[in-house]
Amino acid sequence: MNHSNQPPLLTALAAAVGDDPCVSVGDDAMSPGELRAAAAAVADRIAGADRVAVHATATIETVIAVVGCLTAGVTAVPVPPDSGPAERRHVLADSAAQLWLGDAPEDVELPVVPIDRAARSATSYPEPGAESAALLVYTSGTTGAPKGVVLSRAAIASCLDALYDAWGWTAEDTLVHGLPLFHVHGLVLGVLGALRVGSPLKHTVRPKPAAYAEAGGSLYFGVPTVWSRVCAEPAAARALGSARLLVSGSAPLPMPVFEKLSALTGAAPVERYGMSETLITLSTRHDGERRPGWVGTALPGVHTRLRDERGGPVPHDGESLGQLQVTGPTLFDGYLGLPAKTAESFTEDGWFRTGDIAVVDAGGFHRIVGRESVDLIKSGGYRIGAGEVEQALLAHPGVREAAVVGVPDDDLGQRIVAYVVGEVADGTAVAEFVAGTLSVHKRPREVRVLESLPRNAMGKVQKNLL
């Protein structure tokens, strides 16, 4: 199949034989041979293009489309199926996508290539160079239009191989998840990861607790909202007790959910950290400590450091806050068409500025405090991480969800305001509860009760909307 000296990105898919499904999405399943031939049929129709948009629905067609792009050496641009016309127009114009793969909304003016899951081709394609762009993923930043993150085949391969090591992930596993197929979590880890290592993938279309319980997997991926819902259905949670590993990512896992999931399944979840720009860089290990609220150590090949506001080193003492910077083979190639923005996101000596605030202990364990722009609160001369206050709020029996922000204050510089969801009658009592577990200066000055917190598709709270 492979006429170049380049090892295939989807190693297991390229070599696999047999009729057992390598991937299923809902009731649709394909063997390795069927997926290769269906992807080649897509590749035949798009070969020669630079970038093509993929209507990234939770379907087998999306898997065929993305594998078809990787087969042909064409950069895939996953477009969220729930994106509005303005966001879609921006992504298509900014990416200069030449074709649209899959069913198209009415406002799409590109030539449309439908995905026929029954189509087959025997065309053989050489493996593209490792440095070529595999995916162009758009980030939902808190300010401005989404930016296109260019991810090379080499970066994806490096990330996945490091995760196989950290998670003990092998072809013997069966991976289960129901995450969207337009982000790094669901698409890169959840589809390409399975096809590279050869573990069968069962995608449940939606990440419902009952579907997770019925799937019988050994490895499960979820975001905190998914694990919270699993915990709310104890029978489903107990059914996951036979799994080897439950992995949580894309947002911080609240400590009460970590503890409840551990109690119901008999094993603590693995937490990991990454970004579209860096892929996954930190994780707790399958054979190591799993500490609630902490995301573990740097993956093989990845290096991290903490810097203060003047660029000086921050001690790894488990308490001092610093700007997290990373370097390694998993980093992106830049923001498409934004050289100045790309340069600004790296230090002079080549480390990527994540924009996150973290602490690191003497053993190299990392805790992410939050985004520097919204989660580092400077109040009364203190530097306070919003995440620490949120965890303290979630320990209150009446609080189900919490988000903490700093708002301008003439006296304090910023005052801490907490937004909570739950059965809370007296905000003052909740603030005093926090003051009883953290330093008094970290207590919220205001507690506002909401019906729900605004979240994006990956479960991250959108604090700019609060």
pLDDT per residue as tens digits for the range 256-289: 899 999 999 999 999 999 999 999 999 999 999 9
Calculate ∠ Cα 385-389-394, nearest 5°: 140
Q: Which residues of 92-128 are buried (b: 16+ CB within 10 A; e: fewer)?
A: bebbebbbbbbebeeebeeeebebebebebeeebebb
Task: Supply the DSSP symbol for 192.
Answer: I
Check for a shared fold between 11-193 and 380-465. no
Q: What are phi and psi of 425, to 5 degrees?
A: -95, -30
pTM over 0.85: yes
Considering the domain 380-465, what is its CATH architecture? Answer: 2-Layer Sandwich (3.30)
Closest by Cα among 400, 344, 354, 399 to 375: 354
Residues 237, 186: Cα–Cα separation, whole Å: 21
Residues 213, 221: Cα–Cα separation, whole Å: 13
Residues 288, 259: Cα–Cα separation, whole Å: 17
Query: β-pairing, 413-422 with 399-409?
Result: antiparallel
pLDDT of residue 65: 98
Q: What are phi and psi of 389, to 5 degrees?
A: -70, -40
> Length of the chain in residues, anyone?
466
Q: What are phi and psi of 265, to 5 degrees?
A: -100, -15
Residues 54, 384: Cα–Cα separation, whole Å: 41
Q: Are 406 and 414 in contact (CB under 8 A)?
A: yes
Q: Are 270 and 297 in contact (CB under 8 A)?
A: no
- The superfamily in CATH containing domain 11-193 is ANL, N-terminal domain (3.40.50.12780)
Q: Are 461 and 404 in contact (CB under 8 A)?
A: no
pLDDT of residue 6: 81
Query: What three-state secondary structure class fits 197?
Result: helix
Closest by Cα among 271, 219, 225 to 245: 219
Calculate ∠ Cα 269-181-273, nearest 5°: 35
pLDDT of residue 1: 46
Q: Residues 6 or more apart from 139 whose CB is under 8 A from it? A: 146, 147, 149, 275, 276, 277
Strand partners, 283: 272, 297
Instruction: Annotate 111-155 with three-state secondary structure.
Output: CEECCCCCCCCCCCCCCCCCCCEEEEEEECCCCCCCEEEEEEHHH
Please report, for the chain, the start and end positions of each structural domain, with discontinuous segments joined by +: 11-193, 380-465
Joined tokens for residue 118? 């029954």
Joined tokens for residue 395? 């320990």
Task: Annotate 32-92 with DSSP letters as a single string.
Answer: HHHHHHHHHHHHHHHTT-SEEEEE--SSHHHHHHHHHHHHHT-EEEEE-TT--HHHHHHHH
- Position 39, amino acid: A
Cα Rg, the chain, nearest whole Å: 22
**Residue 328 region, left (φ>0) first, then alpha (ψ -120 to 50), else beta?**
left
pLDDT of residue 145: 81
pLDDT of residue 458: 67
pLDDT of residue 2: 46
Residues 338, 37: Cα–Cα separation, whole Å: 37
Task: Annotate 240-253 with DSSP letters as a single string.
Answer: GGG-SEEEE-SSPP
Ranges of residues in the chain whose predicted pLDDT is under 50: 1-3
Closest by Cα among 21, 68, 18 to 199: 21
Residues 241, 234: Cα–Cα separation, whole Å: 11
